[in-house]
Amino acid sequence: MLRIRRKFTPYLFLFIPVAIYLIWVIAPMGYTFYLSLTDWDGISSPSFIGLENYEKLFRDKVFYLSLTNNLKWLVTFITVPVVLGLGLAMALNETIPGEKFFKMSFYMPMVLAMVVSGLIWGWLYHPRGGLINFVLETAHIVEKGPGWLSNRDIVLWSIIIVAIWRQVGYVMVLYLAGLKSINPQLLEAAHVDGASGWRTFWSIILPLLTPVTVIVLVISVIDSLRAFDLVSVMTRGGPANASSVLANFMYIEAFNNYKMGYGAAIAVILFLLSLAFIILYLYRVMQDEMEY
């Protein structure tokens, strides 16, 4: 009797959370695939149209523009904040005057809502009265500052800078934790053998940080594909789609233009782009399980 009870116990504990997760997260994922094959306006019931949405998507200029912007965002995200975050972690991984203040300053942007960051930076970027152009013009670096959010060539980068501003602290936290787990005796040994600080970093510290780096890269990729809030608040993808990203493109097609089937197709593409990295992350977790 007791054995049978024990056999069912885990299922009883899991039943509600798993049911909720299946209904709200896992099943919807599959349903999006189905919706992407339909012509749905959000009111009438979806009618099956095969791959038409995808055919349209692959001819849509805004799609390629958004995809390119996502890729620019992604490449920037796996380089700039990672290098900055690692550099800061190296600098702050020892007792240093004002350590707490430094860390707090870099952590802070992480806590702010994206919407809040977007609004504050929107004001910094403001062509008239905004701090950045005011400084540039007052110091006579340029006669008239650029329209940071209205110039098609720079608008995306203006937004990515805000994302980097947020991301660096996060990368730093992860690397600081990684650095703490390195055995100090290894570094001591390198020092005794006469290795320079630079050499120690490249041949001992960085290789030992590989597991952290994998996580950092996966999270950076996922975050760059999720990018929505900043774009939505700062430019809505404009001007003329110059700062559009897939997540934003999908939202506008589905909820502003009521082309929900089309939106679902964009969502599927976004999912397929993240899939490789989700699998990479799962693989890392599985490896940990094997060692356990």
Partner 1 sequence: MKKGYFRSPWRVLVYVILVLSTFLWLVPIFTALITSVRTYDDILTNGFFSLPERITLQNFATAWNRGGLNRYLPNSFIITLPSLFLTLLLSSFGAYALARFRFKGNRLFFYTFVGGMLLPFQVLLLPVFRLTDALGLYDTYWGLIGIHTAFQLGFCTFMLRNYMRTVPGEIIEAARMDGCTELGIWGRIMLPLTLPAIAAVATLEFTWIFNDYLWAIVLLRSDQLKPITAGLATLQGQYVTDWPVIVAGALVGTLPTLLVFLFLQRYFIEGLTLGSTK
Q: Which residues between 103 and 122 bind partner 1 (CB under 8 A)?
A: 104-109, 111-117, 119-122
The neighbouring-strand residues paired with 38 are 48
**Which of 75, 83, 177, 206 lies at the binding interface for partner 1 (CB under 8 A)?**
177
Cβ contacts of 186 within 8 Å, gap of 6 or more: 204, 208
The neighbouring-strand residues paired with 39 are 47
Kind and range of the H or E element at 39? strand 38-39
Q: Which residues between 25 and 54 bind partner 1 (CB under 8 A)?
A: 25-29, 31-32, 35
Question: Measuring CA to CA, how many Å separate 229 from each of 119, 145, 236, 237?
Answer: 11, 26, 9, 11
Q: Which stretch binds partner 1 (CB under 8 A): 11-19, 54-62, 152-160, 187-195?
A: 11-19
Q: Which residues between 218 and 277 bind partner 1 (CB under 8 A)?
A: 218, 222, 225-226, 228-229, 232-233, 246-247, 250-251, 254-255, 260, 263-264, 266-268, 270-271, 274, 277
**Which of 3, 4, 59, 94 lies at the binding interface for partner 1 (CB under 8 A)?**
94
Buried b (16+ CB within 10 A) or exposed e, 161-170: bbbbbbbbbb
Are the C-beta atoms of residues 148 and 158 closer than 8 Å to each other? yes
| Count of positions on this chain that bind partner 1 (CB under 8 A) | 102
**Which of 165, 220, 242, 252 lies at the binding interface for partner 1 (CB under 8 A)?**
165
When asked if residue 194 is in the footprint of partner 1 (CB under 8 A), the reply is no
Nearer to partner 1, 15 or 58 (CB): 15
Cβ contacts of 198 within 8 Å, gap of 6 or more: none
